[in-house]
Structure formats: structure tokens, C-alpha cells
Chains A and B, each alone.
Chain A
């Protein structure tokens, strides 16, 4: 019980301290620099006053991030299964995947804008490129790390190749897959905002948080910029929450990363 109270109280105490510190720093700033750091309650006001715009922009980001992450998940799992079946495919593709990961995705933005147009299509593709690598690497690793004794047991029962993939390798890869998904889930909203920042568009109400940042930045609207950052945090947090719930749903009953229930 004590630990529970600590769990609730400690973050509140630290947050209060942080906000007090914020007010303090702002108070000590020279008058001509004060515009640089809006007061916490100014940020709160900006959040409330612009909530329609921010919510809309957040949803646009969430949409782009969802499309990018979902596509990355489907393709990464497919590719991982393919790579797990053959060492030849693995060695021929792995260097290119590394290249893909090394690529400064942001530099692709102008190319993508020319190819598929600004806004959602570009944002989704940028998110996809950022999310793909952790998923494919972790899932492949998982598919290849199956307990050798279980593989032997499947051989003994003359399981077909596909049965072995479906009933053994895929379930065994689940924990690894979710490790990848947790990383990509965090990257997805950041990727979408970065994508929107460099390839966003306000056409068809498609502006996302990245686009808002450019506008507010040009207007020196500091409180609004901070409010946009907070909105971005909330979008990211909701993605992480969904991924953690999914991971819990699929793993908690059997995997050791979750506490044993009854014995």
C-alpha cells in the first residue's frame, strides 16, 4: 500500500517542483528575454484556446503515424518470415536494410513530396521508413531464436514447413516482435511529426503538428509552440499505451516478462 501511495505522490511532487523551478527561471530572466519562455499557465491557456486546431493537427499526426506504423508492421513481419526461411535471402537483404536505416529520412522529404505529393502520403511513407527497421530486425531475430528442442519435436511429428512457421516460429517470435513494436511505436509519432514538419501541407485540412510548429514558429508564438510540443507528447504517449496493451494481451499469460499469475 505504501509503495502505491509513493507511486502516485512522487511524480506529482517532482512535477510541482519542476513547474516552480520554471516560474523561478522565468522570474530571473531579463525583461527583453522573457518572451522566450512562456509561463506554464500561458501554455495551458494556449492549449485551451487552440484546442480545436491542436486536436485536429494531433489527429492528422495520429493518422499518418498509424498508417505508417501499420504498413511497416505488416511488411516487416512478412519480410521477417521470408528472411527466416533462408540464409541466402537474409544475407542478400540485410545490407540493404542497414542502408535503409542509415538513410537520413528527412532528406527524402523533398523527393517524396515530388513523387507522392505533400501531406498524408509523404508523412505516412516517412513514418513507415523510420518504423520499419526495428520491426524487421527484431522479428527476424525472434523467428530464428526458436528453442531447438521444440524444432526437433516438430520434426519428429513430421510437421510441414508452414506448420512449423505458424505453430512454432511465429508464436515464439512474439516477444521479440513486441520489442520491435515498442521501439517503433515510440518512433511512429515522432516520425510523423518530423515528416509533417518537412513534407506537411495544410491542403484539405491536412495540417499536422509539424506544420503548426512552422506556422507558430514564424509568428514567434512561444506559448502555442509549447502547447504543440505537449500535444505531440500526448500523441506519442497514446501510441505507446496501445502497443503496451497489445503486448500485454498477447504475452501476459505465458511469457516470463510478465509476472506469474497463479501456480
Chain B
């Protein structure tokens, strides 16, 4: 049996902008199919750059990066990006926003309807298909953004602090929803966050990064079984892991003496 090609593979990747110092340095990492990888670290550690590299929005300065053994720009793997802000088109109704990635692929609008309905149902917003983004709350807008990301049936989902601007209740709720979505379709996820508890709740692998230059300092495996629910946050293992990560993160934030 040949092992399936890894969805994402970093090989000694570095990244610096212009003549500036390295933003990312010596990144070696392999994602397995179906991994939910949370990335935490102090600001300026290159977390977002890591995602942008995977998405092909920027290229490594040295080293190599492949998606299923192909460079990101040529990769056929379907990927979606959920940004920090909902980044919805304000002039388009919710349904049209969700259909956008399909429309950009040249799918005629009448053939998008099913996919749009499926994705909006998954984020429980099917009844708001005709609304304009400004008529929705921040949490709802973010759910539309996720529905849009799901429209292409991605195999790789990149989320850059998608819930950072939301209150904790909404954030917890959306985290649970995200895991429910994950049960319905298999995708590999990279999830950048500032919140340790969010990282532990969602991920099976957590990368702790340090800044200047951005490096992967630790990898922590989260052995909490899926499906995880609100009750998971009360389990002692959850608390143990958050405490451990909190220490590692603190160490990563403090520059070595």
C-alpha cells in the first residue's frame, strides 16, 4: 500500500519580505489527511504568513512547500480560506456570496442553487439566503463566510482567526458548529488562533510558534476523542492540555535569556 500524499508538507521553508528579517524560519511540518491543526503563537510569529503560503497567496523564500506533492500554485487540491473578517460582498445577497467561488469557476447560477442551499443549511442560515450581509449579525456573517468556504467541497480549509472578533459565547458556539461540519465531510484544517482553549477544543494537533524568527517550537497532540461537545471543555484532560499549552506559549513568548 502506498501512503496517500500528504495534504500539506513543509520542507525547510523560510520566508522573509524584501531584505527584512525572516518571518518564518526552518519550518518542517507534515499534515496528515483529516488533521485539524491549530496554530498558536505570539503576534508576529508568522502564523498568518504560514496560511498564506499554503494558499499560494505568497511564495517561500527558500525551502519547499507542497500540497499533495505539488506546489501550491499548481495544486489541484481544493482549498478554501476563511479570513479574519467575513469578507462578504456587501452588494450581494447571502446566497450569491456563498455561490461566488462556484461562479468564479464558471458554474452557471442555476446550477449553484443546490450547493448553496446545502452549505447554508450546514451553517443553519438557509432562511437568510435572500438577506444582505449588513442585515446579519457578526456571528451570522462569519457563518456565511464559512458556508462560502464549503461551497467548493474543499479538502483543505485554512482559517485565520475567523472568530477573533466575536464574543466568547458566539465563538464557543461556532467552534462546536465547525466540528459538526467536520463530521459531515473530511477535510484537513489549519486554524490560526490566539485562544488556547479554542485550539485545544478544535484540534488534534497544536503547533506552538515563537516569534523573531517564526519557528515551530512545539507540537502538542490533543488526544481528546471526537466528537467533542460543550462538555469537553469541562473535562480534566482539556484543562490539563490548556495549562500545558499556556506554559509552552508563555515560554515561546519570552525571548531566551
Query: In whole angstroms, how far apart are the Cα atoms of A150 and B56 in the complex?
Result: 16
Is A152 touching B134 in the complex (CB atoms < 8 A)? no
Q: Which of B91, B101, B133 has the most CB of A within 10 A?
A: B91
The residue from B56, B104, B134 contacting A260, defined by CB atoms under 8 A apart: B134
Is B104 touching A167 in the complex (CB atoms < 8 A)? yes
A33 within 8 A of B: no
The residue from A171, A260, A261 contacting B89, defined by CB atoms under 8 A apart: A171
Q: Closest CB of chain A to B20's CB: distance in Å?
A: 20
Is B134 touching A167 in the complex (CB atoms < 8 A)? no
Q: Given the known inter-chain contacts A150-B89, A153-B81, A255-B90, please indicate yes or no for A159 contacting B104, CB distance below 8 A.
A: yes
**Chain A residues with Cβ under 8 A from B56's Cβ?**
156
Q: Closest CB of chain B to A39's CB: distance in Å?
A: 52
A183 within 8 A of B: no
Q: Which of B83, B85, B104, B134 has the most CB of A within 10 A?
A: B104
- Chain A 165-215 interface residues, beta-carbon cutoff 8 Å to B: 167-168, 171-172, 174
The residue from A147, A155, A159, A255 contacting B57, defined by CB atoms under 8 A apart: A155
How many residues in B have their beta carbons less than 8 Å from beta carbons of A? 20
> Nearest chain-A residue to B132 (Cβ)?
A254
Q: Closest CB of chain B to A129's CB: distance in Å?
A: 32
> Nearest chain-B residue to A263 (Cβ)?
B135
Q: Closest CB of chain A to B141's CB: distance in Å?
A: 12
**Chain B residues with Cβ under 8 A from A145's Cβ?**
none
> Nearest chain-B residue to A250 (Cβ)?
B91
- Chain B 103-160 interface residues, beta-carbon cutoff 8 Å to A: 103-105, 132-135
Query: In whole angstroms, how far apart are the Cα atoms of A147 and B100 in the complex?
Result: 16
**Chain B residues with Cβ under 8 A from A16's Cβ?**
none
Is B100 touching A157 in the complex (CB atoms < 8 A)? yes
A158 within 8 A of B: yes
> Nearest chain-A residue to B88 (Cβ)?
A150
Interfacial residues, chain B to chain A (CB-CB below 8 A): 55-57, 81, 83, 85, 87, 89-92, 100-101, 103-105, 132-135
Task: List 15 other contacts, CB 8 Å, given A150-B87, A156-B57, A171-B91.
Answer: A149-B83, A152-B57, A156-B55, A157-B104, A157-B105, A158-B104, A167-B89, A167-B103, A167-B104, A253-B132, A254-B91, A255-B91, A260-B134, A260-B135, A261-B135
- Could you jot down 20 A-B contacts, CB within 8 Å? A147-B87, A152-B57, A154-B104, A156-B56, A156-B81, A157-B104, A159-B104, A163-B104, A167-B89, A167-B103, A171-B89, A171-B91, A253-B91, A254-B91, A254-B132, A254-B133, A256-B134, A260-B134, A262-B135, A263-B135
